[in-house]
A and B are shown apart, each in its own frame.
Chain A
């Protein structure tokens, strides 16, 4: 902190802040004058990085538009005869499209459960001190950090004993392990940004707690709820190990369907690529809405 404030102090100690500003501005013009070169160079870095990010995705997309023969017969940077046949396979074959339906079902279930239990808890953490609050908050975090591999086998046994194997609710509940803590942390971050005076004013105005929470508080943290829901959706969507362990056929997620195809002998690369492209789309569609909060979400609401 002390290091940071140094320049300002120097500026003040010269005792010429207005003058200093003039100098600053003239420098700014100077910067503008020699900008073209440096600007082009700095633009290059993110551009190259984005190209690096997009190349593998483009390659997958490219493959999804080719027939299997074309993929295996020769190497080309773009499809000679773009075809949607691979996508048609997925949309017409129940063993493929039911994978998407299964994934979306348990992901949505999980998101709803996670956010609705996390809301009151996050409020409690952001507003009150209570016995063991810090320990509890830490314990939640350890669950976000827990390796799914540790939990795969015990989950399997736990849900077998309840007869829940191969149901959507089993996966949805299992994913709560890391999504509920995540939602609590993100929501707590957003709620702490709302001044406490708002709560107090509402109580003085005669609002009961539930009415205040739904009518006044939730609209205030609407963006936070959206971001928490997005991250729950996302982390449930990208997880494979637990989802695969807990399902066999009826609730099999699309991700597991894809691994099955990889291990089968007749590798149909085109269909596999098309399935991959389709799994990227949900994330790509909603990312626009959370673009300004994405860092905050990944940092568990702490940026």
Chain B
């Protein structure tokens, strides 16, 4: 759509600007402020320069949490994306099955995050949870509060349970927008199922898939509530991801300087990914108009 140049449009954006500036810019300035100062309490602050940043980047605690978070993000992507595509391909395209599938699959997305944690905390317990009880009874040692492997497995399965539907829904939205003519043409050519997937469905889905990958990456990169409720970051530090570590530092120990420095580094990483995301999203928007009718 052709847009007219009109700088008065700024007035319409103003309320949003003021509101988000209040809830984003002021807090961020506080963080920047703390990140370069040291305090011994009593509201006395001293200039600390880049000390916290140097400490942070050299500290094992931060790099460990970062590595754990990256491993977590990539493992859930490796499971959720293929699984999501596969389920979306098998979903019915018409009839009563469609709304039923959509509603039931979307349900986990609407569960409050700490309830997701509670659900899996209960579900995995060996004494009263279905999963823990069954696993232990068929001879698999499973205790997510003691065993790091079990804790990781629980956190990953929980995230797969919670968010795979997002991938499914996005892929499904991409799939139903493929005109029937493409499939007819494929049938004429005698294309195999794999060929249809590889040359028609996958290319048509690639934009929604990009959105799905980026959204899932960003959200898993800042995951806090669910693993916090289930494992509390433990056993030991084995499931302490970046956000959990940060909250521990900022609200638990009130190490303002280090916590602020960590916040900024964390935010910078997010900013880079946001930029990638933005570029992808706006390109999607730019090539969208022809199919907007759906």
Residue contact A142 to B108, C-beta cutoff 8 Å: no
Tell me if B237 counts as interface (CB < 8 A to partner A). Answer: no
Tell me if B44 counts as interface (CB < 8 A to partner A). Answer: no
Residue contact B267 to A46, C-beta cutoff 8 Å: no
Residue contact B185 to A145, C-beta cutoff 8 Å: no
**Smallest beta-carbon distance B290→chain A, Å:** 11
CA A135 – CA B203 in complex, angstroms?
30
* Interface-located stretch among B56-64, B142-150, B242-250: B242-250
Known: A128-B9, A298-B215. A158 touches B26 (CB 8 A): yes
Q: Which of A7, A272, A284 contacts B186 (CB 8 A)?
A: A7
Residue contact B281 to A53, C-beta cutoff 8 Å: no
Residue contact B99 to A59, C-beta cutoff 8 Å: no
Interface residues of A in 40-79 (CB under 8 A from B): 42-46, 49-50, 52-57, 59-60, 63, 71-72, 75, 77
Residue contact B9 to A298, C-beta cutoff 8 Å: no
Q: Which of B27, B118, B122 contacts A154 (CB 8 A)?
A: B27
Interface readout for A126-166 with B: 1 if CB under 8 Å, 0 if not?
11111101101110111101111111111111100000000
Residue contact B20 to A124, C-beta cutoff 8 Å: no
Which of A20, A140, A149 has most B Cβ within 10 Å?
A149
Residue contact A27 to B13, C-beta cutoff 8 Å: no
Residue contact A176 to B182, C-beta cutoff 8 Å: no
Tell me if B208 counts as interface (CB < 8 A to partner A). Answer: yes
Residue contact B104 to A50, C-beta cutoff 8 Å: yes
Residues of A within 8 A of B91 (CB): 46
Known: A158-B27, A240-B113, A255-B115. A53 touches B107 (CB 8 A): yes
CA A23 – CA B186 in complex, angstroms?
12
Q: Which of B111, B270, B274 contacts A280 (CB 8 A)?
A: B111
Residues of B within 8 A of A148 (CB): 222, 224, 243
CA A127 – CA B120 in complex, angstroms?
46
Tell me if A180 counts as interface (CB < 8 A to partner B). Answer: yes
Residue contact A287 to B188, C-beta cutoff 8 Å: no
Q: Which of B169, B211, B224 contacts A302 (CB 8 A)?
A: B211
CA A272 – CA B122 in complex, angstroms?
10
Interface residues of B in 114-150 (CB under 8 A from A): 114-115, 118-123, 127-131, 133
Tell me if B49 counts as interface (CB < 8 A to partner A). Answer: no
CA A1 – CA B103 in complex, angstroms?
32
Interface residues of B in 177-220 (CB under 8 A from A): 181-182, 184-189, 191, 199-200, 203-204, 208, 211-212, 215, 218
* Interface-located stretch among A90-98, A112-120, A216-224: A112-120
Residues of A within 8 A of B103 (CB): 287-288, 291
Residue contact B247 to A152, C-beta cutoff 8 Å: yes
Tell me if A84 counts as interface (CB < 8 A to partner B). Answer: no
Residues of A within 8 A of B284 (CB): 302
Known: A272-B118, A287-B103. A146 touches B4 (CB 8 A): no
Residues of B within 8 A of A125 (CB): 13
Tell me if A105 counts as interface (CB < 8 A to partner B). Answer: no
**Smallest beta-carbon distance B287→chain A, Å:** 9
Residue contact A176 to B5, C-beta cutoff 8 Å: no
Known: A56-B119, A71-B128, A130-B10. A238 touches B199 (CB 8 A): no
Interface readout for B238-258 with A: 1 if CB under 8 Å, 0 if not?
000011101100110000100
Residues of B within 8 A of A130 (CB): 5-10, 13
Q: Which of B101, B108, B242 contacts A46 (CB 8 A)?
A: B101
Residue contact A302 to B188, C-beta cutoff 8 Å: no
Tell me if A121 counts as interface (CB < 8 A to partner B). Answer: yes
Other than the known A193-B292, A195-B1, what 19 A-B pairs have Cβ atoms closer than 8 Å?
A4-B200, A53-B161, A59-B119, A124-B10, A129-B3, A130-B9, A147-B246, A148-B243, A149-B263, A153-B251, A181-B20, A239-B113, A255-B115, A258-B114, A269-B122, A273-B122, A280-B107, A287-B106, A288-B99
Rank and list the top 3 A-B pairs by shortest CB-CB distance, nearest first.
Answer: A283-B110, A154-B27, A147-B222
